[in-house]
Amino acid sequence: MNITLEKYHGLGNDYLIFDPNKNECRLTKENIRLICDRNFGVGSDGLLVGPILGQDKLEVKILNPDGSEAELSGNGVRIFGKYLKDAGYVQKNKFVISTLSGEQTIQYLNEEGTRIKVSMGKLSFYSDEIPVTGPRREVLNETMLFGSIPYRVTCVNIGNPHCVIWLNDISKDLVCRIGKHSENAEYFPERINTQLLKVLDRTNIEIEIYERGAGYTLASGTSGCAAAGAAYRMGLTDPKMYVHMPGGVLEVEIKDDYSVLMTGEVGYVGRFTLSHEFAEQVKALQ
């Protein structure tokens, strides 16, 4: 049986859909790494496995390109919502997707399903919920050392953990240099995603992103929500804002209870049927 993957992107953050109802290959960390490799494989920022059908639920597993499983991906959830529409799994304009972090509500904002709003759950700044080592506290504007350099950070969980660093000047090079240290820093027992935050005005922020298990990425939905939440919590922005990333712009709205709504675009790239030779390499790593 052929192995067929569908490729989508959310603002340049690209994922491959592996539909277990249409493929019979067992996924492992080894063959996930091969599939996602941009030189020897198809290439992507991760793999979305689903829909996993059962008990009236539409479940998706979100896998990083290193083979580890992510609790949540904002771009991944939007992409998966678009795939469910394209593949005929859903006909409603509003429905629920189950992820490792819980349930996310998806709403199509246009007929094509390319513009999607997602209820992302609630932000938490508490150390034991992120998690961050040390006594229970809100991790707000604390000093942490990454590569022996001190930074003022605010940490937050939005289904997965984030470390937000507010700076006047941000860049890809800088977030990569910091992220290589922060991702596996001793403060974070489950590793962490890192964002450099630049506040443009009360309704616009700019971020650079280094993702846990993936490295530098052009865009990230949960990173956008986390950075927006940190900026609002520190009093730097209004509750509704535009998050500017190298791949594009997300709209984020933070409610009074710190629940978050995220709106963004999804693009379809195409269908990839693996060659017999490459499929055999993938299957050999089961």
Summarize pLDDT for 30-50 with one digit per residue, the tens.
Answer: 999 999 999 999 999 999 999
- Domain range enclosing 23: 4-114+267-284
Q: Which residues contact 120 (CB under 8 A, 6 or more apart)?
A: 72, 74, 104, 158, 159, 221, 222, 225, 259, 260, 261, 262
User: Both 139 and 103 in a single domain?
Assistant: no
What is the pLDDT at residue 56? 79
Binding residues for substrate: 13, 64, 74-75, 160, 193, 211-212, 221-222
Q: Are 248 and 219 in contact (CB under 8 A)?
A: yes
219 and 272 inside one domain: no
Q: Are residues 222 and 100 part of one domain?
A: no
Asked if residue 176 has pLDDT above 90, the reply is yes
127 and 260 part of one domain: yes
CATH of the domain at 10: 3.10.310.10
Rounded Cα–Cα distance for residues 136 and 134 (Å): 7
Same domain, 70 and 135: no
Is the dihedral angle over the CA atoms 157, 153, 191, 246 positive or is it negative?
A: positive
**According to the model, what pLDDT value does residue 17 have?**
98
**Does residue 248 contact residue 265 with C-beta atoms inside 8 Å?**
yes
| Shared domain check, 258 and 208 | yes
Q: Report percent pLDDT > 90 for the chain.
A: 98
Whole-prediction pTM value?
Answer: 0.93
Q: List, for residues 178-223, the tens digit of each pLDDT value.
A: 999 999 999 999 999 999 999 999 999 999 999 999 999 999 999 9
**Mean of the per-residue pLDDT values for the chain?**
96
- The verdict on 194 and 71 lying in the same domain is no
The 10s digit of each residue's pLDDT in 117-171 is 999 999 999 999 999 999 999 999 999 999 999 999 999 999 999 999 999 999 9
10 & 77 share domain: yes
Q: Do 258 and 129 sit in the same domain of this protein?
A: yes
Q: Is the pLDDT of residue 54 over 80?
A: no
User: Which pLDDT does position 79 carry in this prediction?
Assistant: 98
The CA-atom distances, in angstroms, between 285 and each of 27, 66, 200, 232 are: 8, 14, 47, 45
The total domain count for the chain is 2
CB 221 within 8 A of CB 77: yes
Tokens of 149: 């350099």
What pLDDT, on the 0 to 100 scale, is given for residue 55? 74
Position 57 scores a pLDDT of 83
pLDDT digits (tens, 9 = 90+) for 223-266: 999 999 999 999 999 999 999 999 999 999 999 999 999 999 99
Asked if residue 132 and residue 146 are part of one domain, the reply reads yes
Dihedral angle, C-alpha 82, 86, 90, 95, nearest 10 °? 10
Instruction: Enumerate the known binding-site residues.
Output: 13, 64, 74-75, 160, 193, 211-212, 221-222
Task: Please check whether residues 146 and 279 belong to one and the same domain.
Answer: no
The answer on 66 and 82 residing in a single domain is yes
